[in-house]
Structure formats: structure tokens, C-alpha cells
Amino acid sequence: MGRIVGKPNSSSSGSGLRGKDLISFKDLSKGQVISILNESESMLRALTRRAKLEYLENRIMATAFFEPSTRTRLSFESAMQRLGGGVIGFSDVNTTSSVKGESLADTIRVVASYADIIVLRHPKAGAALEAAEYSDVPVINAGDGSAEHPTQALYDLFTIKMQKRRLSGMSVAIVGDLKNARTVHSFAYAVAMFKNNIKFIAPEQLQASGEMVEDLEDNYGIEIEKSDSLDEAKEADVIYIPRMQKERFLDPEEYKRFANYYTINKKFLSKANDDIIVMSPLPRLGELPVEIDNLKSSVYFKQVAYGVPVRMAVLKLILGG
Amino acid sequence: MGRIVGKPNSSSSGSGLRGKDLISFKDLSKGQVISILNESESMLRALTRRAKLEYLENRIMATAFFEPSTRTRLSFESAMQRLGGGVIGFSDVNTTSSVKGESLADTIRVVASYADIIVLRHPKAGAALEAAEYSDVPVINAGDGSAEHPTQALYDLFTIKMQKRRLSGMSVAIVGDLKNARTVHSFAYAVAMFKNNIKFIAPEQLQASGEMVEDLEDNYGIEIEKSDSLDEAKEADVIYIPRMQKERFLDPEEYKRFANYYTINKKFLSKANDDIIVMSPLPRLGELPVEIDNLKSSVYFKQVAYGVPVRMAVLKLILGG
Amino acid sequence: MGRIVGKPNSSSSGSGLRGKDLISFKDLSKGQVISILNESESMLRALTRRAKLEYLENRIMATAFFEPSTRTRLSFESAMQRLGGGVIGFSDVNTTSSVKGESLADTIRVVASYADIIVLRHPKAGAALEAAEYSDVPVINAGDGSAEHPTQALYDLFTIKMQKRRLSGMSVAIVGDLKNARTVHSFAYAVAMFKNNIKFIAPEQLQASGEMVEDLEDNYGIEIEKSDSLDEAKEADVIYIPRMQKERFLDPEEYKRFANYYTINKKFLSKANDDIIVMSPLPRLGELPVEIDNLKSSVYFKQVAYGVPVRMAVLKLILGG
């Protein structure tokens, strides 16, 4: 499938997403992101009033999950069915022809002949781009290796829009395991696109890469600070804190040392900006204690719920329902 | 979700199930059980005439199965789709965020944000009640540990109603592994609610617990007998016989000893009450030899089939379609 | 279920498939095969114009997969949903009651009470026939052991029809692991039924069985040649080449020796009949190098795509939608 190459110019009608792959958040223009967020808001309204939607009534989505991810899979499957569409798929690579030596290209070509769109999850970075080359139908990247997961970045932005009623000119603190959590990368680019300043708060060993920081500064003209003190996040408008990625630590002692390095607890929030919102890609561990679950600042369960309307919007815009 | 606390009073309109959880058979009032059985009969008629039902057209049911149970899962998935609804779910806990240390409460909160109702299966007793506390949508307990599986008790009752054309005043023999089979507990309370006398027939080691017997006698005012002789079941109106629960025997020799302790064969049935019906939660093993499969008394395959209309009724009444 | 016994006589209206099982390609009369292929062509046209089909709107298909086969499962699930139907199923036998000792007959009886049709995959030859005896709903054999997979033979024929615009009087070369590839058997009977001559091209150790050759010659009156030289396939109208079935070789050395015994490469095709088409049951390995993927002769990905309209046709004709 022709993935999104270059940015559609202003005269192109609509979002320019119809029939396109969605491989990386960076492939999207600001205009396209805004289109998706607006469509997401319509979808959310439709969900709220329990409207019966039939936009994708004759369409089938395949979830091709070469590694398991129940959350992402269920959210996409819910989104597709909310739009009236059908779902097929696999989530256990051991039951596919891959075990008989079939290439990714061939598996994708076969699945593309059964469905109208493929949602791909794969352990290898670059797999989604490769799949898109061989698929006759659009491919949505639902996470490939440590690289990209664009619909997650989109519903992160949607969360900010819905909770803050704006998208720009804010201070965003990204806290914790910035080295290993793959969502950090997409999230940082998403908020940079909308001209928000970023504070990367992490212990030295887990800080955001110099390359990324430089790229963000150079290409988006935003202010970036680094710190290892959670106090720096107090004045932020948004805190984003992924869990420590236990499985990526080679040394269990090091994991233990950092497991509860930062905790967004009641005490911290009592000193923080009154309008602060706390986001997480979930699952959460000790960094977000249950004592804050019912505070108005704690929007992480709303955030995960927004995954459905945002994925509905993406499916609708790509399939042109 | 507000589970069913106390019994709805007589002035409450309808079944009082709308928006409620269904955690334990004991949470249901007799009136509610009757409502469900009546609705089940409508559903059965609709199935028989292949009516196209759209009651739950915009709704999605999540099957959150933390341990596998193909029979129960397929039956619920069939029921939901027969009502026009969609299904998402998982049945392999190893693919969920639980392996990353996510709590049941958090997994449920996430799934609740993708679906309109959750059908939960969990190895731990009490899990369904805990899930209901954290879910924004109704939770149906589809088996948690050795405790409860209310829709099974409901379709057991429905089987009696459809096959005997009455629900009360009968003699019910419950035979076999009364200690380990989790369905015995729910079934006993279900028939007690409708004032049927019970004969618990089991070898001493596998008899029904004294507590349960006492509770049934005290609270339902029915007559209960205990025996280890299958002959005592001959005059019953209903026989209910679960398989020996091999996996719960610590001593394989003891299992072997009891495996074929009771057998409902042709010879037994030739001496039994002419209108007797033989029920089983299935799967069946040697206790129900295939030689009786085609006798009119053998209703165990009808019983499992009734799972669909009964679960349709429950889904419809809870989701208020 | 009454499987197809004998051939329907000419006065029977329609295809005579309504309510029937589909266990073996050999159970089908030539008239029935033609009906299915014609219906498949209508289905293909409907897919091409994205028509909304509602033929099986109130129906549920169960995929009872006792061994995994993602390709076949997804193709059937897509077909059923394209017709407006619902899907339930399992693909991991370890989650079924089989592990508690339940017989195939009982599992099938239960699944039959939840669905309107069963698509069965099973490792044991004869399992589909046994299942059909106990099922109250039609059973489609989607592969049982090394024996039969009738819908695959049907879409192989459909591929020939769509690509060659005829079905008879051609020369068909079947090349490679003729001993172990289960699709060879069905395919050979399918092309024999339509009076095509067959060249079995294989090394001596992997040749087609004498029994099958004799049976084809005796019952279909076609010409059959055996050879181990790929050159003999050059003048064929159709080449069919399964992969070497690595998992069936007891001696890894022998597998290595035959793995790339035949290769349909550009060089071979440049010398072959200009209208030749190359088919494969997929997955493909070294026998079909990617260098030929874009040649007009290479129809194997079209072939797998045809699985959907053909299975739609079969489901529609059996369920009488």
C-alpha cells in the first residue's frame, strides 16, 4: 500500500488518510492529526449517545498480532465493531504459517486478501513498514519493536485536548523510564508538534536520548529541560509517567533501585499545579498509587477509554466509510 | 457497578436487573429468577423461528477469561451475537497485562472502557465481586474458583421447567462427587428456592457439606436426605450427576475407586420413575454411558443447549435492550 | 447430520447442498461442484462491488479447530462475516473439555447446540465424518489428518476457472512432494473430475501413490504420466506445486536433499507454455522464488484470495441463505 509519503498539501480535500497506511506518528501532518482528533470527538459523542453506527458495515479488520497485546487488540476490535465492521485475526504467532517458514511478506499478502485493513503488532522494528509494502489493503502499525505506535500517541493527544480543552502552549513533564518505555518517543513528538515545552524527568541512566532531544529542539522549536527531580514537574500542565519497564533491565538490582524512584502520590499532587493532569500508557505499577485514582487530576483510565473513539476515527478516515 | 444488594421490592418495575451485576445465584430474588426464566422462554421461541433479533445491536460484550472455559465462552458469545451484539475478549491470561503485574482491578477498569458488559471467568473465588466493584459496566460471573456460576444454575432450572413443565414440589437427587463439583452448590440452592426436596447421594467421603445442608434446611424449609445408595434416586423426578472431578483428587487410587461408583445406565433407568430426567453439567464421563443418550430421560444435551437462550435472557435484561 | 450419501438425481432442485455436511470432495457430484463454482463467481462479484450481503444474518458459524490453521480459520471467518453472519470458535484444543476427557462426539454435540454450522479442523483422519454423525447442524471438513480438505480443492478449481476461463481438457502438472502434501490428493481428484490429464512430477521417493493413480485412471478415464523431470511440466496449462512437507520427513538429510529439488524460477517460466499458470496451496518456500511473484503466470496469491468467495458460496448453499 502507498504509505503516506510527504505531507498532503493544503488543497487536498479531507484528511488525506483514505486508503493510506498509518505506520508512524511522524508521517502525519499537523492538519491530519487535527482531522483525526476532530473525528475522534464526533465518535466520542456518538458513543455517548449510543448511536448505531454503520460506517464500516461491509468491512473486515484483521488483527495480525505477532506478539500478544490484549489491551491494544481489544480496543481496536471494539472500535471496529462500534463502526459496524467485522473482525478476524490471530494473536498467537505459533498458530500461523510463520512456523512453517512463511515470510512476513507472504503472511501479510494472505491476510490482506481476507480483510479490508490490517492492524499489525510485531516484535521487530520496521515490520509495519515492510508489511505495508506487501499489503493490498491499508496497514495500521499497532506497535513494532521499540519504535512506533501511532494510535497511542493520537489518543494521548486526544486526552490532553479533552481534559485541558487546548493542545498547545503547555508545559509537559515526561517522567520515569524514558530510555526503555516505547510510548515516550511517540508521545514526545506528539506534544512537540503542538508546541508544548517538555521536561524530561528521569535518573541519569534512564534519561531521554540526546538524539531525540536535539531532534525535538531543532525541528519543533520547543524548550526542553532535563532533570532528575520530580519537583520540577509540579508546575507542569501535564505529567506523563510510564511504568518502569522491568523486562528491559538486565540487572534486577538496578530495576529494584528504580522501581519506585518516582511516585505521583497525594502528597505530591497537593503541592502541584491545581489543573495538572496525570497520564500513563498503562499498566501502572507503584508510580501511580491507587490513593490518587479518584482525584480529578488522575485521567489515566479516561485516557485508555479514549483509545476506542480515536481508533474509530482512524479506521473511519482510512477506510473512508 | 452496583451489584444486586437486597431484593428489589414488589413495586419495582420489570426484573430489576437492568444495569446490575450478576455475581451469585443467591443475589437473585425468586421473582427475578422467574423473570429470567420467562424471558429465556421467549428467547428460545425466537431462536426456534430463526427470528432476527437486534436488541443489543450497539452493544459489545467482553469475555474476560482468566482461565479457559470454551463451553461457557462459546455459549455466551453465541448468545450475544444472537441478540445482534458484538464480542471482544481474551481467554489466555498470559497475553494480558496481568503478566506485567497489573491488578485485576486495573484490567477490569480497562476492559470496562471497551465494552458494555463483562463476562468474567477467574480461578480465584471472590474475583467477580472484586471486579464488579471496579467496573463501570455490569459484570456477569461465569465461574470464579469453586464458588459461583449463576447462569449455569439458571439454565439448570430452565431445563427442569422446560422438561417437567413445573419448577416446584419435586424430588431432586444430586448424585456423585458432591464435595468437589462446583456446580452442585449452585444447583442445590436453585432447586431449594423452588421448594423441591433434595436427596444427596454420594459416598461418605464425597458427601455434601454439613453447612450447606443445614443452610438449605434452615432457609428454604425443604426436606433433605443423605444416602450413598443410587437406589434412593429411582423415585426422583430429577437426577443431577456431575462427573468425578479427577483434578481435585489428591490420591489417584481414591479417584480410581470412585470413578465409576455410580452409573446411570439403561438397567437403572428401567427401574426408575418413568418421567425421570437425567441432568449433567457436562462434560460427562463413565457415569453417563452413551447407551442412554437417546432415551427420553437423557436431557443433558438439551440442558447445555438451553445455555444460549438463558444467557440471551440475562444479557437482554441486564443491558436493557 | 445427513451427509451427502449418493449423488442427488437430476430432478432435485438447486445444488442439493442445503442442510448437508461437506466431508470429502468426492462426496460432491460434478453438478454440485459447478453450482458451487457459479455461486462463487457471484460472491466474487459481490465482493468486488462491496455489496452489503445479509444472506446469513441470523446465523452463527463455529470454528472448531482441534489443531491450529490460521489461514483456513481466517478465511472461513471472513467468508461468514462477509455474508452477515456471526462467528464463535476455538483454535486451541487445550482450552476445551477434551482435556477433561470429553469425547469428540460430545464436544461436537455441545458446539452444535451453540451454532448453525461447524467448520472442523482435526488432526485425525475420519474425525469430520465422525463429527457429522453426532452434530445436529451441518459440518464442513476443514482438514482432518492427511485425508480431505474439500473447500481447498474447490477454490483450486475456482482459480483454474477464473484464470483459464475453462475447467476441462487441459494438461495439469502436479509437482514436488506428492507423497506427503495432503492437498495433492484432493486437487488431483478435482481436476480429474473435469477431465484434465495429469502429470505427476516427483522424485521416486515422493511420487503419487499407485493406488491413487489407478483409481484416477479407472474412474475418470484421464491420461496420467509420471516423471521426475520438471521439463515435463513446460507444456502444461497448469502447474500445482506444494512445498516440501518438512515435518513429515523422518530423516533431515533427506529433507535437505529434496528441499530445492524443483524450482519454478524465471528461467523455467521463460521456456514454458506462455499461458501457464502456477498454483500453490501456500505457504511457499524455495520452490517458488519471489522473483516470479509479479509474473502473470504466478496466481498463487489470487488463489488464496479466492478462498473467501468459494467459502462464502459453500456456506450460503449449505445454510440456504
Q: How many CB atoms lie within 10 A of CB C164?
A: 16
| Per-residue model confidence as pLDDT tens digits over B164-191 | 999 999 999 999 999 888 889 889 999 9
β strands within B176-242, DSSP E = 197-201, 224-227, 238-240
Residue A12: pLDDT over 80: no
**Is the N-terminal amide bond of C252 cis, ω within 30° of 0?**
no
Residue A11: pLDDT over 50: no
Residue C9: pLDDT over 50: no
Alpha helices in chain A (DSSP H): 30-48, 70-82, 104-112, 127-134, 150-164, 182-193, 210-220, 252-259, 266-271, 300-319
| Per-residue model confidence as pLDDT tens digits over A32-43 | 999 999 999 999
ipTM of the complex: 0.93
- CB within 8 Å of B176: residues ≥ 6 apart: B201, B202, B206, B241, B242, B243, B244, B261, B262, B287
Q: Is C185 a catalytic residue?
A: no
Quickly tell me which residue has 454450522 as its cell.
C117
Whole-number average pLDDT of chain A: 92
Per-residue pLDDT, C321: 57
| For chain B, percent of residues with pLDDT exceeding 90 | 80
Residue C272: pLDDT over 70: yes
Catalytic annotation, pick one of B3, B7, B26, B71: B71
CATH class of the domain comprising A151-304? alpha beta
Per-residue pLDDT, A6: 36
Q: What pLDDT band is residue C12 in, cutting at 50, 70 and 90?
A: very low
Interchain contact, C100 vs B282, CB within 8 Å: no
End-to-end Cα spacing for chain B = 18
Quickly list DSSP for B23-74.
--GGGS-HHHHHHHHHHHHHHHHHHHTT----TTTT-EEEEEESS--HHHHH
Among A81, A92, A282, the residue with its CB nearest the CB of B60 is A81
* Residue pair C122/C91 in contact by the 8 Å Cβ criterion: no
Interchain contact, C110 vs B282, CB within 8 Å: yes
Residue to test with chain B: of A44, A45, A52, A70, most B Cβ within 10 A: A70
Instruction: Please report, as a single letter, which amino acid is at residue B275.
Output: D
Where along chain B do its domains lie? Answer: 25-148+307-319, 151-304
Residue to test with chain C: of A114, A133, A134, most C Cβ within 10 A: A114
Whole-number average pLDDT of chain C: 92
* Residue pair B167/B278 in contact by the 8 Å Cβ criterion: no
The Cα C314–Cα C35 span in angstroms is: 10
* Residue pair A209/A143 in contact by the 8 Å Cβ criterion: no
* Mean per-residue pLDDT, A58-67: 95
Helix or strand run (H / E) with residue B318 = helix B300-319
Catalytic annotation, pick one of C72, C107, C151, C183: C72
| Per-residue model confidence as pLDDT tens digits over A231-256 | 999 999 999 999 988 888 888 888 88
Per-residue pLDDT, A15: 84
Q: Does CATH place domain C25-148+307-319 in 3.30.530.20?
A: no
Per-residue pLDDT, B5: 38
Catalytic annotation, pick one of B73, B82, B121, B185: B121
Per-residue pLDDT, C8: 37
Residue C140: pLDDT over 70: yes
The Cα B96–Cα A99 span in angstroms is: 23
* Residue pair B233/B251 in contact by the 8 Å Cβ criterion: no
Q: Radius of gyration over alpha carbons of chain A, in Å?
A: 20
* Mean per-residue pLDDT, A11-29: 85
Residue B41: pLDDT over 90: yes
Residue C185: pLDDT over 60: yes
* Residue pair A138/A21 in contact by the 8 Å Cβ criterion: yes
The Cα C301–Cα C280 span in angstroms is: 9
pTM: 0.94
Per-residue pLDDT, A4: 45
Residue B4: pLDDT over 50: no
Nearest to B23 by CA among B155, B131, B162: B131
Instruction: Read off φ and ψ for residue A142, nearest 5 degrees.
Output: -110, 35
